[in-house]
């Protein structure tokens, strides 16, 4: 067992992307430390010949937005998407845009969009007026009483069209009236959710087989109007939306009154939304919508019930990594397209980039041709440009970050994490760990994790020892040690982008771990060509943890299929032979970090002369 354990990390933000046209790589002679590709490579269990592997590259799906300049404009954007044919909308529903009590159950209304208006009888937003004119509905219907949508605003919005109002004395009354309108012929299922303002009812709008009804506002009882509405539907089962804290078992039983009961719930609101999505859409869909759902920040989901071509799931915003329950749903469904509901103030571009990587289908590198790009010594000034390239190509990488560099460039580190890349440990200030005691080595890794934690990034789970130098104490730190089998020596000179590109592409084989350094501009400029060339060869880009899952603390990892197990004696001076017989030689990295850590010669790193 190691002395500490952590979690994986990554970072992210927003920026313009680079062109990655696939230009044939220039020729360059790979240095002796780079593994050369060979057409004579024998087939083994872990290093399958390229011809027998899945050749289709797996990357994240493209993403887009339905958004306006504010919440009113975003609801209109959703309406224009859903009702591109105006004739399909028979009515327009109008609800208050600052609080959602009267619209909690409105998602089940399918004969027209839900649009938002300002509170306190404020002027109808121009963008809403324009959308109503485009749709030219038969009627405009207010959701809620006159305190929600006043008569003057309703009349103004209708512009001479008939008006109606669906509003009771309470939000529970309004939900019952919406149920009667949405399901005039009854329904076999009734859904019950908390009467508090939570997103469970809002995302429930994607359910099409029954109305959404509400408990009391504190969730402790069922109002008589809800009991009567369940009976009026003729439902034979009642399904709770949310866990037992949202809808207690006794409250569910009271509403069901002897009918069959069940529950759609997860560990939190994000997992609950995913559970509802799975129920509403049992099969994969081409499109999945993503809306902000933390706190009371789910206004963009209020209008989403009108969407019928894919589920709506939630994550926190404005610029967080996609929540675990949501990421699991996206990976399970791997849609062809993601759509953000709302602008960047709701969900930033980095969050959507991370969602795209989360939405890749599960990858098994035993049957897929995989490569892991890894970058050391950052973050630094060139890192955002690299992140732009990865975002444009929708592929992940693993970043072995130095704690002092994270301290200097915290936004770059945060961006890497949010955008779905794997963040791993490369110590605090890049020492040769063999010169330090066990306690001092621990300080190097723990201090880096603590710095990452300050920026919302969890503890790391992988360690790359600086210079590739380790000793028996390093293997006791509680990490697998990640080395490499492809080294383009991108620091030495440094070489031109074309040379680095040629060295990487010429040396990479199925299962490779590629060592590079994102502190060098030329390395970053080589990335578009490297990705384009390897994609053309059928490679799928993965993180180290995806390439080789299930690693143990103390393992020495060179590539997929070449791992020295924890407990097996080893030294950086060892000559490494891969599973196909390729000789790597001692695996060390002489690169330093300007103004932080010196370069170390091969002679200094390998004093025995190897």
**Cβ contact 470:435 at 8 Å:** no
Which tokens is 293 given? 């759902």
Residue whose entry in the numeric block shows the structure tokens 């959703």: 78
Identify any residues that bridge with 192 across adjacent strands, giving them in sequence order.
213, 240
The residue annotated as part of the active site, out of 412, 421, 430, 517, is 517
Cβ atoms of 488 and 591 within 8 Å: the answer is no
Q: What are the C-alpha distances in Å from 21 to residues 25, 193, 463, 496, 591?
A: 11, 51, 34, 18, 30
**Which residue is catalytic, options 200, 320, 376, 449?**
376
**CB contact at 8 A, 531 and 395:** yes
102: annotated active-site residue: no
Q: Do 446 and 453 touch, CB atoms closer than 8 A? A: no
Contact (Cβ atoms closer than 8 angstroms) between residue 544 and residue 537: no
3-state secondary structure of 269: helix
Alpha carbon 286 to its chain's center: 17
What's the chain's Rg over C-alpha atoms?
28
Nearest to 465 by CA among 486, 448, 452: 448
Gap between the Cα atoms of 368 and 360, Å rounded: 13
**Is residue 313 a contact partner of residue 288, using CB atoms and an 8 Å limit?**
yes
Residue 105 and residue 197: Cα distance in Å, rounded?
A: 11
Is 517 in the active site? yes
Instruction: Report the distance separating Cα 154 and Cα 115, nearest Å.
Output: 12
Q: What are the tokens at 538? A: 């059928």
By the 8 A CB rule, do 421 and 396 touch? yes
Tokens linked to 93:
């529903």
Alpha carbon distance 574, 71 (integer Å): 61
- For 573, the token pair is 């001076």
Residue identified by tokens 């950086």 is 572
For 295, the token pair is 């706190």
Residue 386, classified by CB atoms within 10 Å of its CB into exposed (0-12), middle (13-18) or buried (19+), is buried
Residue located via tokens 């609101």: 269
| Edge-to-edge strands, sheet with 114-117 | 114-117, 91-96, 139-143, 163-166
Residues 110 and 304: their CA atoms lie apart, in Å, by 11
- CA angle, 458 then 460 then 464, to 5°: 155
Catalytic residues: 376, 517
């Amino acid at each position: 067992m190691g002395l500490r354990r952590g979690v994986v990390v990554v970072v992210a933000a927003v920026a313009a992307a680079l062109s990655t046209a696939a230009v044939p790589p220039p020729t360059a002679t790979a240095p002796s430390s780079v593994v050369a590709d060979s057409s004579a490579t024998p087939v083994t269990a872990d290093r399958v010949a390229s011809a027998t592997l899945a050749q289709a590259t797996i990357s994240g799906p493209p993403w887009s937005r339905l958004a306006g300049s504010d919440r009113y404009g975003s609801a209109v954007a959703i309406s224009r998407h859903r009702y591109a044919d105006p004739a399909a909308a028979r009515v327009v529903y109008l609800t208050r845009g600052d609080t959602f009590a009267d619209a909690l159950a409105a998602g089940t209304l399918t004969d027209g969009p839900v649009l938002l208006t300002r509170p306190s009888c404020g002027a109808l937003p121009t963008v809403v007026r324009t959308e109503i004119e485009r749709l030219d509905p038969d009627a405009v219907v207010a959701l809620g009483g006159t305190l929600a949508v006043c008569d003057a605003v309703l009349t103004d919005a209708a512009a001479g069209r008939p008006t109606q109002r669906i509003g009771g004395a309470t939000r529970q009354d309004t939900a019952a009236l919406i149920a009667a309108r949405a399901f005039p012929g009854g329904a076999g299922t009734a859904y019950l959710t908390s009467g508090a303002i939570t997103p469970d009812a809002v995302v429930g709008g994607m359910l099409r087989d029954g109305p959404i009804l509400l408990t009391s506002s504190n969730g402790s009882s069922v109002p008589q109007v809800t009991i009567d509405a369940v009976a009026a539907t003729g439902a034979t089962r009642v399904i709770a939306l949310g866990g037992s804290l949202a809808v207690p078992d006794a409250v569910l039983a009271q509403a069901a009154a002897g009918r069959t009961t069940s529950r759609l719930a997860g560990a939190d609101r994000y997992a609950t939304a995913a559970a509802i999505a799975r129920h509403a859409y049992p099969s994969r869909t081409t499109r999945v919508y993503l809306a902000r759902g933390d706190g009371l920040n789910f206004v963009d989901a209020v209008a989403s019930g009108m969407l019928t071509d894919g589920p709506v799931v939630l994550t926190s915003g404005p610029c967080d990594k996609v929540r675990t329950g949501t990421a699991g749903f996206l990976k399970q469904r791997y849609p062809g397209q993601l759509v953000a509901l709302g602008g960047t103030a709701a969900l930033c571009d980095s969050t959507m980039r991370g969602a795209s990587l989360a939405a890749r289908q599960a990858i098994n590198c035993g049957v897929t041709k995989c490569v892991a790009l890894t970058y050391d010594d950052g973050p630094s000034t060139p890192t955002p440009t690299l992140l732009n390239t990865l975002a444009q190509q929708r592929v992940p990488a693993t970043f072995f970050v130095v704690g002092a560099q994270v301290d200097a460039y915290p936004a770059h580190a945060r961006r890497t994490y949010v955008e779905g890349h794997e963040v791993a440990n490369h110590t605090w200030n890049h020492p040769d760990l063999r010169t330090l005691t066990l306690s001092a080595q621990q300080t190097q890794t723990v201090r880096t994790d603590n710095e990452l934690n300050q920026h919302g990034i969890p503890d790391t789970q992988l360690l790359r020892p600086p210079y590739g130098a380790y000793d028996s104490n390093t293997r006791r730190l509680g990490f697998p040690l990640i080395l490499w089998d492809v080294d383009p020596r991108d620091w030495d000179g440094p070489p031109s982008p074309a040379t680095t590109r040629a060295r990487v592409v010429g040396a990479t084989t199925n299962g490779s771990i590629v060592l590079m350094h994102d502190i060098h501009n030329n390395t970053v400029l080589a990335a578009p060509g490297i990705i384009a060339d390897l994609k053309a060869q059928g490679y799928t880009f993965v993180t180290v943890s995806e390439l080789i899952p299930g690693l143990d603390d103390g393992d020495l990892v060179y590539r997929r299929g070449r791992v020295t197990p924890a407990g097996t004696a080893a030294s950086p001076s060892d000559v490494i032979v891969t599973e196909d017989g390729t000789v790597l030689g001692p695996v060390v990295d002489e690169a330093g970090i300007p103004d932080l850590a010196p370069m170390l010669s091969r002679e200094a790193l390998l004093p025995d002369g190897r």
